[in-house]
């Protein structure tokens, strides 16, 4: 396991939030700001950190209500604009003004908001299986699953539950991979049960009437012009369609590469061979132009 330190910062509305900080080299390259998906936490980027930490600094924040970050008093603050404000405060505290954003799902949406509001921060960007248009089938699946966690008596039971719910997303996974994913998504509670590591109330904003409308992020694609960018799409994704991904490449002005991760749905874990090669190429572009 790569070495990291735990860090904490305060949100604008007074929540104590947590991040992991993996050491990088001393050559001045920009850090990777790793932004996780809706129900994920800093551990979601362990596979990436195992490969890149030491060479690259990785900062992995946990959004409010996830992992070691405090839960919000008002569940309606579990929305992207609040996450952006929280992340902006962290960047200010760390005096980071330029970074490579690595955004999975919700984290990719936050990356789009960063491009729209603070383009100058981005030395590069990875949008992992997310775009301005989301497929309704995938949204329905997520709404049905989020906030309905059960507890399990052992890690193997948690892994089997993950497999049952997600075997169409990762059809090639065996028990070892499901166990590794379970340990990234679940935690051991004070009663000795294995539970999902997020506030179940993060589902509440998703169930508000009209929530699926959201903000039109297509205009933000132009903000990525001239910035090294990578779009990863799971071949089996029910969130990001081929048509949306291809339009993103066009709207981003030719600076983006689209790579499909074979036999994976929403979302790639970033340790797949296609993903690893594409990430290495993106980082080489960041360093050398």
207 located within any domain: no
Overall domain count for the chain: 1
Bridge partners for 261 per DSSP: 234
What is the phi/psi pair of residue 106, to 5°? -50, -40
- The CA distance from 243 to 213, in Å, is 19
Tokens representing residue 219 in the block:
């205009």
Q: What is the DSSP string of 154-219?
A: SHHHHHHHHHHHHTTTSTT--HHHHHHHHHHHEEE-TTS-EEESB-GGGGGGGGSTTTTT----GG
Tell me if 88 is assigned to some domain. Answer: yes
| Cβ pair 192, 141 in contact under 8 A | no
Examine residue 187 and state whether it is found in any structural domain, yes or no.
no
pLDDT for position 156:
97
What CATH number does the domain containing 13 carry? 3.40.50.1820
Convert the pLDDT of each residue in 44-70 to its tens digit: 999 999 999 999 999 999 999 999 999
Q: In this structure, is residue 38 part of a structural domain?
A: yes
Alpha carbon distance, N-terminus to C-terminus of the chain: 31
- Which is more confident, 70 or 145? 70
User: pLDDT per residue over 266-287, tens digit each?
Assistant: 999 999 999 999 999 999 999 9
Question: Could you tell me if residue 152 is inside a domain?
Answer: no
If one compares 218 and 215, the residue with the highest pLDDT of the two is 218
CB atoms closer than 10 angstroms to residue 201: 15
Q: How far apart are CA 45 and CA 188, in angstroms?
A: 19
Quote the CA–CA distance of 260 and 153 in Å, as a whole number: 37
Residue 182 lies in a domain: no
- In which domain, by residue range, is 39 found? 4-147+213-288
Does residue 193 register a pLDDT over 70?
yes
Instruction: Confirm whether 183 is domain-assigned.
Output: no
Distance in angstroms (rounded) separating the CA atoms of residues 119 and 51: 27
- For 140, the token pair is 């329905």
Q: How far apart are CA 20 and CA 34, in angstroms?
A: 10
pLDDT at position 162 is: 95
Task: Single out the residue of 113, 94, 93 nearest to residue 103, CA to CA.
Answer: 113
**Contact (CB, 8 A) for 142 and 126:** no
Residue 266 lies in a domain: yes
């Amino acid at each position: 396991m790569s070495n990291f330190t735990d860090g904490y910062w305060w949100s604008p509305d007074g929540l104590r939030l947590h991040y992991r900080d993996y050491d990088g080299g001393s050559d001045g390259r920009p850090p990777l700001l790793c932004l996780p998906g809706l129900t994920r936490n800093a551990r979601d980027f362990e596979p990436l950190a195992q490969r890149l930490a030491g060479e690259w600094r990785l900062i992995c924040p946990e959004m409010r209500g996830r992992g070691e970050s405090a839960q919000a008093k008002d569940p309606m603050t579990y929305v992207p604009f609040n996450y952006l404000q929280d992340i902006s405060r962290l960047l200010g505290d760390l005096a980071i003004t330029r970074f490579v954003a690595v955004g999975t799902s919700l984290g990719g949406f936050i990356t789009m908001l960063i491009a729209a509001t603070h383009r100058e921060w981005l030395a590069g960007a990875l949008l992992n299986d997310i775009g301005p248009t989301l497929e309704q089938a995938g949204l329905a699946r997520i709404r049905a699953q989020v906030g309905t966690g059960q507890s399990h008596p052992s890690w193997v039971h948690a892994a089997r539950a993950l497999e049952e719910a997600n075997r169409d997303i990762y059809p090639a996974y065996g028990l070892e991979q499901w166990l590794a994913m379970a340990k990234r998504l679940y935690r051991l509670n004070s009663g000795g049960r294995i539970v999902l590591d997020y506030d179940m109330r993060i589902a509440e904003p998703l169930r508000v009437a009209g929530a699926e409308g959201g903000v039109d992020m297509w205009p933000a694609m132009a903000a990525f012009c001239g910035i090294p960018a990578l779009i990863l799409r799971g071949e089996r994704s029910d969130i990001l369609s081929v048509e949306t991904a291809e339009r993103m490449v066009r709207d981003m002005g030719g600076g983006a590469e689209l790579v499909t991760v074979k036999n994976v749905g929403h979302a790639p874990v970033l340790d797949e061979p296609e993903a690893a090669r594409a990430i290495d190429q993106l980082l080489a572009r960041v360093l050398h132009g």
